[in-house]
Structure 1
């Protein structure tokens, strides 16, 4: 991690890790979890993918890391209490996706990345951002990967206490983030690796398997025995030593992106 670069890209904080030669190379962009690791720097430490011959640029999610309000997650917790879907989950994914094109242009201006298709990676709620880049944007992508991802937002809402009071607006919002329903679009865009901890929430495990089945031959499932939902210990904001199970995820992602870059070249 000694060679990492930190900065902002069109207002979005990032932690960037260069390839071994630190020269021009392809780009992989990531979005972190809201569980630990819950910042771009912590996600870079958990999943550095050091042996991938590409720049890995880890973007900060809204109201996380450097964008926390008053240096804490309290403002985000208040949004959860207000309306977990329409004040928290849905706007976070929407903002992260909408701010991405300008952030990508800024990254290309700041770092020696090539102008070809990018890789995308997301963990948990960040997985919904990566999948939305695949399904709802025109950004060229050579490969995608998600880890313990929010694949169907309705399943994520169901993890919170109580019965959510859906109405027409929230039904439309939650259905717009159902990526099993958009599997045909994903299959037409890029190969996808779906990493799922065998101890993750059962609903998310089911969604992971359904997505791989729906995408078909351009998708692979990587199950990690013993892995729950988080990839790091709490509080998960600052970089921390890589946990053994996170190393297994990191190794799987490294093999995946290395293979896909070889296929592209």
Structure 2
């Protein structure tokens, strides 16, 4: 990764941080996106990252701004890793009035990537989208993607992870003539801080922690997709354990992928 520039969202915890650390060890110039100023600065210093940017990615304006700031400050991008995400046991809205799971787990991916496409086209770069096997139970609620009625944490999360794959496939199709590749992945069940912001879900995740992967293990597929020559030119695919894996049938619906793109644009 010598000479390659990488931007990672959600890079101060869990697999995001582990991915950053591994790519820095491969000599990449890694930039971190975090929300907490003190923590993000601390992680940058600990890892020796090239720099960091601050943003609350659940806010559309912040997602746009951080991408533009990066483009102005750095001006080069070879790999974008959309990693930031969360699950919420009760329905919450961002300051912009958008349900948080949808805002952070899907719209942030869409907005940051869209803003950085000019740089990625220049480098014929890679987009790596962290999804989840939770997409298997996901369904896009076209008339109510923000769960204004009938909210369920797992349903909202599953929808967002399905959206990650559909977005990846449509992005790969749209960028096929520009040299930009896009792939999604399942990191595995990771024993990180994910989900610990929820009382009920946090207890459940703590119970399964002994069966879970470490952050370093969970980061392996992200690292592979960001750096391996084996995936050069591959695009629109879903990976698990560093292997191409068939996602659920609803994640292969190209009409749904196009429809999701249009729905996402309606938030801009």
TM-score, normalised by the number of residues in structure 1: 0.43
- TM-score w.r.t. structure 2 length? 0.43
**Larger RCO (alpha carbons 8 Å, 6+ apart):** 1
